[in-house]
Amino acid sequence: MKKLIAIVGARPQFIKHFALENEARKMFDLKTIHTGQHYDDNMSKVFFDRLGMKRPDYMLSLGGGEHGTQTGRMMIEIENILQVEKPDAVLVYGDTNSTLAGALTAAKMHIPVAHVEAGLRSYNKEMPEEINRVLTDHVSEWLFVPGETAVQNLRKEGITHQVYNVGDIMKDLVMKSVSHKWLVKPADASIPYFYVTIHRPYNTDEPARLQYVLKSLQKLGKKAVFAIHPRTRNAMKNYGLSFSDYPNIQFIEPQGYFESLGWMYYSHGVITDSGGMQKEAYWMQKKCVTVRKETEWVETLENGCNTLVFEELTNLDDLLNDCSGNYYHSETYGDGNSASKIVEVLS
């Protein structure tokens, strides 16, 4: 069997890899490197214990540090592993520092790279993710894109060879989670609420901005259930902002994958600055407000299914209640069988 090494470094990549692993193991000697860029066993162990996912073959501890330092350390460790394993190809997901480190290292070693979730563009180069995804696309041999917009983005940059529109691999798992009832229903789902996650630097790293976001959530007509990211929690502590100042917000710990899907599924809408949650809300037919100036997932904006808001958050209630329910397209980002299509191409 050909040897394939997959590199993951953050929870969204871990989820994508779970969706791909079972299919890939049918055709490849598959090994996994987890860089440790972000890792929380409480969030991830359900994949091992309940759903039988194989633990990473290599578990590194390379979280923290500035972007250049972190990426460089990853490249050194990944290079050492690739020299020993000698894979036929390296597979990377998304747009983290782990993605770029894996892709650059493999390319410099003349090992072909497969990029899952290629072709996305925010056209905001202040986002480190934008730099990572552009560079990764330009050194990849196979580019697996989630939709037609990504195909067009790559074409504008002169990339047309071995571009495959396979749909979004995260849709595979979301659809299975709903149909197999893997998602976890919240204990108090009967009380109307909006589900919230906010963690990006432009929403958390300035006291006035974070306070404005929290005040806007406090004014919502329904309760805000806020799964608070460690970055946001630390920012609140540093700025002297107390949970008790916002009684309309129910602050909860970061949620496991199936718990988070459950909170979304039973909510009256989603407020987030996450990329993945925009899609998950879309597939579960939940109105989403994205607290950003741009999104890579432009298809979710069609007919107001997802709305971008950044400067003016005073009308969140109106936006969340503006949901006709007639604009969800079942085939947007594929049919939920991306993993098998990726494996078919690679094999």
For position 46, what pLDDT does the model report?
A: 72
Asked whether the domain spanning 193-321 has the same topology as the one spanning 3-165, the reply is: yes
* Residue pointed to by tokens 């989403």: 288
The pLDDT value recorded for residue 40 is: 64
Q: What's residue 114's pLDDT? A: 98
Query: What is the identity of the amino acid at 308?
Result: L
- Residue 214 has what pLDDT? 97
User: Mind telling me the catalytic residues?
Assistant: 199
Written in H, E and C, the secondary structure of the chain is CCEEEEEECCHHHHHHHHHHHHHHHCCCEEEEEECCCCCCHHHHHHHHHCCCCCCCCEECCCCCCCHHHHHHHHHHHHHHHHHHHCCCEEEEECCCHHHHHHHHHHHHCCCCEEEECCCCCCCCCCCHHHHHHHHHHHHCCEEEECCHHHHHHHHHCCCCCCEEECCCHHHHHHHHHHHCCCCCCCCCCCCCEEEEECCCHHHHCCHHHHHHHHHHHHCCCCEEEEECCHHHHHHHHHCCCCHHHCCCEEEECCCCHHHHHHHHHCCCCEEECCHHHHHHHHHCCCCEEECCCCCCCHHHHHHHCEEECCCCCCCHHHHHHCCCCCCCCCCCCCCCCHHHHHHHHHC
Residue 299: predicted pLDDT: 87
CA separation for the pair 256, 43 (Å, rounded): 4
Q: For residue 264, what are its two tokens? A: 């979304």
Residue 23: what pLDDT? 93
Angle of the 11-25 helix axis to the 338-346 helix axis, nearest 10: 60
User: Which of 3.40.309.10, 3.40.250.10, 3.40.50.2000, 3.40.50.10170 would CATH assign to domain 3-165?
Assistant: 3.40.50.2000
Q: What angle do CA 53, 58, 61 make, to 5 degrees?
A: 110
Question: Per-residue pLDDT for the chain (347 aa), expressed as one digit of tens each?
Answer: 999 999 998 878 888 999 899 899 999 999 999 998 876 665 566 777 777 788 899 999 887 788 899 999 999 999 999 999 999 999 999 999 999 999 999 999 999 999 999 999 999 888 899 999 999 999 999 999 999 999 999 999 999 999 999 999 999 999 989 888 889 999 888 899 999 999 999 999 999 999 999 999 999 999 999 999 988 999 999 999 999 999 999 999 988 889 999 999 999 999 999 988 999 999 998 999 999 999 989 888 887 889 999 999 989 999 998 765 555 566 778 889 999 999 999 99
Q: How far is CA 147 from CA 135, 250, 297, 329, 332, in A?
A: 19, 36, 9, 13, 7
pLDDT of 41 reads 65
- Domain spans in the chain, listed from the N-terminal domain onward: 3-165, 193-321
CATH for the stretch 193-321 = 3.40.50.2000
